[in-house]
């Protein structure tokens, strides 16, 4: 099995920390390049980092973004308290700017995007966040990657000491940890873990999947 070289966006976030952990542990991942606005604070022989400040323009670092097999795009924000223009900028504009650059530089790349359960593929529904994520998914799927997959988890339980950067999300996950562990076992449609998301991304990047959109139960079954 050939080893994979991976680019990871959002490695400092809750989902990204989980994906990074699994990549560093997986013998099939040769290297991880984390691109973020702040460093992860981690040291590992497989990990290299670029701290970047303009997530709409990658021209200054383009020469470092070629030669990768997969991108795990875990950068993203909650829409709570945000207007549509701001949420669209942070969700659609940033994701598509990175993806357009990466697809041009890495035609053999598999791109995996973390979106969310309830994403609105019609782009017409009543929920602002779901429409924006739907448009983002739809346009990512049009880019000339080798393949693109949309991961739509519902709840994600952070494991192995990982924490959300959003204080209220962290508080919920800590307070409800025993219930979430149970839910993960009995209702995979509604709950996954940072470990399962990371493992599934690696497996889907390596082996592909039978459909481009993976719901929580698909992520847990991969
Ligand atoms: N957490 C969940 O339970 C859950 C469930 C379903 C779907 N999701 C989706 O998963 C994605 C990641 O969520 P998360 O819980 O990991 O979020 P998080 O803990 O808040 O982390 C967000 C990540 O995105 C980066 N980021 C945010 N705004 C940025 C900006 N303007 N420029 C550059 N980087 C920026 C953060 O970097 P800094 O460290 O520099 O701030 C961090 O790495 C989101 O799209 C979310 O909707 C999450």
Task: Tell me the pLDDT of the chain (222 aa) as tens digits.
Answer: 679 999 999 999 999 999 999 999 999 999 999 999 999 999 999 999 999 999 999 999 999 999 999 999 999 999 989 999 999 999 999 999 999 999 999 999 999 999 999 999 999 999 999 999 999 999 999 999 999 999 999 989 999 999 888 888 888 888 888 888 888 888 888 999 999 999 999 999 999 999 999 999 999 999
User: How remote is the CA of residue 103 from the centroid of ligand 1, in Å?
Assistant: 22
Assess whether the C-beta atom of 15 lies below 6 angstroms from ligand 1.
yes
Give the model's pLDDT for residue 164.
86
Assess whether the C-beta atom of 150 lies below 6 angstroms from ligand 1.
no
Q: Taking the C-alpha atoms of 181, 118, 218 and 121 in order, what is their torsion angle to the nearest 10 degrees?
A: -170
User: How remote is the CA of residue 16 from the centroid of ligand 1, in Å?
Assistant: 8
Assess whether the C-beta atom of 114 lies below 6 angstroms from ligand 1.
yes
Pocket test for ligand 1, best of 49, 56, 76 (most atoms within 8 A of CB): 76
User: How remote is the CA of residue 88 from the centroid of ligand 1, in Å?
Assistant: 14
Assess whether the C-beta atom of 90 lies below 6 angstroms from ligand 1.
yes
Task: Provide the angle, in degrees to the nearest 10, between the axes of the packed helices 167-175 and 177-186.
Answer: 70
Which runs of E-coded beta strand occur in 65-173? 70-73, 110-114, 147-152, 155-157
Structure tokens at 36: 């973020």
Give the model's pLDDT for residue 124.
96
Give the model's pLDDT for residue 65.
98
CA distance 185 to 73: 26
Ligand 1 nearest-atom number relative to CA 129: 47
Give the model's pLDDT for residue 106.
98
Question: Could you tell me which residues come within 8 angstroms of residue 157 by beta carbon, excluding any fewer than 6 positions away?
Answer: 173, 177, 180, 181, 184, 191, 192, 193, 194
CB 197 within 8 A of CB 19: yes
User: How remote is the CA of residue 90 from the centroid of ligand 1, in Å?
Assistant: 10
Give the model's pLDDT for residue 37.
97
Ligand 1 nearest-atom number relative to CA 9: 43
Give the model's pLDDT for residue 188.
83
Three-class SS of residue 136?
Answer: helix
Nearest CA residue ID for atom 35, ligand 1: 75
Three-class SS of residue 33?
Answer: strand
Structure tokens at 201: 């991304």
Ligand 1 nearest-atom number relative to CA 164: 19
């Amino acid at each position: 099995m050939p080893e994979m070289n991976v680019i990871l966006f959002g490695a400092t976030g809750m989902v990204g920390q989980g994906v990074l952990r699994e990549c560093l542990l997986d013998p099939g991942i040769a290297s991880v390049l984390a691109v973020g606005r702040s460093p992860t604070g981690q040291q590992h022989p497989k990990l290299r980092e670029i701290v970047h400040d303009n997530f709409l323009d990658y021209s200054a670092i383009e020469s470092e973004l070629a030669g990768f097999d997969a991108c795990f795009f875990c950068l993203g924000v909650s829409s709570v308290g945000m207007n549509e223009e701001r949420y669209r900028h942070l969700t659609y504009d940033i994701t598509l700017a990175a993806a357009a650059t990466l697809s041009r530089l890495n035609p053999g790349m598999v791109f995996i995007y973390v979106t969310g359960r309830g994403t609105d593929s019609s782009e017409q529904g009543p929920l602002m966040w779901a429409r924006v994520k739907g448009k983002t998914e739809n346009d990512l799927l049009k880019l000339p990657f080798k393949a693109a997959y949309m991961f739509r988890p519902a709840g994600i339980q952070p494991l192995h000491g990982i924490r959300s950067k959003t204080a209220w999300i962290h508080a919920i996950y800590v307070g409800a940890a025993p219930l979430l562990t149970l839910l993960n076992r009995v209702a995979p449609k509604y709950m996954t873990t940072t470990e399962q998301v990371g493992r599934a991304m690696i497996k889907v990047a390596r082996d592909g999947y039978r459909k481009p959109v993976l719901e929580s139960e698909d992520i847990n079954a991969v």
